[in-house]
Amino acid sequence: MDADILTFTDRGIYCPQGDFFIDPWRPVPRAVITHGHSDHARWGHDHYLATHQALPVMRHRLGDISADGMAYGDTCQINGVSVSFHPAGHVPGSAQVRVEYRGQVWVVSGDYKIEPDGLSEPFEPVPCHTFISECTFGLPIFRWQPQAQIARQIADWWQANRAAGKTSILAAYGLGKAQRLMTMLPQIGPVLTHGAVEATTAILRAQGYPLPSTLQVTRDVDAKTHPGALVIAPPSALGTSWARRFGPQEAAFASGWMALRGIRRRRGYGTGFVISDHADWPGLNTAIAATGASRVFVTHGYTAPFRRWLEDQGYQAGVVQTEFGTDHEAEDPLPEAEGTSP
């Protein structure tokens, strides 16, 4: 058997023949990027390659970078290695990276979810020999309810707050989750956004993603001008003077981690909605089976128990130590107190 076409280094996942890295966390000459979250698209690389859809947000976050974009499904050759992007369903523009050399096919999933959300490009399984899968929520306790059901729960909460004369503040990460929420919720009232959320939303809206009208919170926009509004803000905004300007209010956090009551209690989130842009337990297993891969490497999340599970199912499995999921601007980062094991 030929040597593995991808290896694991202290800078990231590396292709020696192609001389490129995938989502490296330390500066490298050539970086292939799965999506724009800041734990995967980091500053300092000499050149970036990503989907056309991911690049605008990456440029907004990283500044003046040297970068090329590719369409989903197109293939380029890098030193004789075939590289292509395929939808991951995680956030707008997110991709899995397919790498082929001398008949070997590896797929790096990045982050993914298999339930279509009506905004992100829907996940597509990619046949391969070896699959590198995230397992952020790689325990059987993580099983998401359908998006429509969560939307009803959030809408009922918002409506009850409006009836009580309160502003609803919903904390969600600024790329992907925030836009998904504003897309899936009914138009009960005005939707206001924190500046960090609005900046990303404006970029995605300009790209043609179907996003509803929102209004950025400024000195002239508050609970008096927009009573009963829903405010979508980063988690870091909860409990700050920025949030207190809205007077009587109810705050909630939208995250897959809200499935764990201990986290919700320790973080002081009175209301939590369990919704994630990562695959749950059934989603992980479904996605892995659909690749047809015989070998699976798992990364960031409950890696040790998920690896054991995969081995019990007959896979050749391993764990890749990465620095993904360590940036709290990313969607559903691992809680500090939880670590990477149950």
What pLDDT is stored for residue 266 in this prediction?
Answer: 64
Q: CA dist 46 to 25, 28, 64, 309, Å?
A: 13, 6, 11, 39
For 24-74, give the DSSP string.
-SS--SEEE-S-SSTTTS-TT-SEEEEETTTHHHHHHHH-S--EEEE-TT-
Average pLDDT over residues 189-206: 97
Mode of pairing for the β-strands spanning 167-171 and 249-254: parallel
Q: Which residue has the higher pLDDT, 128 or 224?
A: 128
Residue 247 has pLDDT above 90, yes or no: yes
149 pLDDT tier (thresholds 50, 70, 90): very high
Closest by CA to 230, choosing from 276, 177, 171, is: 171
* CATH code for the part of the protein at 7-142+278-320: 3.60.15.10
* Residue with more model confidence, 2 or 67: 67
Average pLDDT over every residue of 200-215: 97
Q: What pLDDT does residue 329 have?
A: 45
What distance in Å separates the CA atoms of residue 15 and residue 105, rounded to the nearest whole number? 12
- Return residue ranges of the chain for CATH 3.40.50: 147-273
Say whether pLDDT at 299 is over 90.
Answer: yes
Q: Please, which residues have CB within 8 angstroms of residue 32's CB and are 6 or more apart in sequence?
A: 20, 21, 22, 23, 48, 49, 50, 83, 97
- Span 298-315, mean pLDDT? 97
Mean residue pLDDT of the chain comes to 92
Indicate if the pLDDT at residue 341 is higher than 60. no
pLDDT over 80 at 238, yes or no: yes
Q: Does domain 147-273 have CATH number 3.40.50?
A: yes
263: confidence class by pLDDT, cuts 50, 70, 90: confident
pLDDT-based confidence at 340, cuts 50/70/90? very low
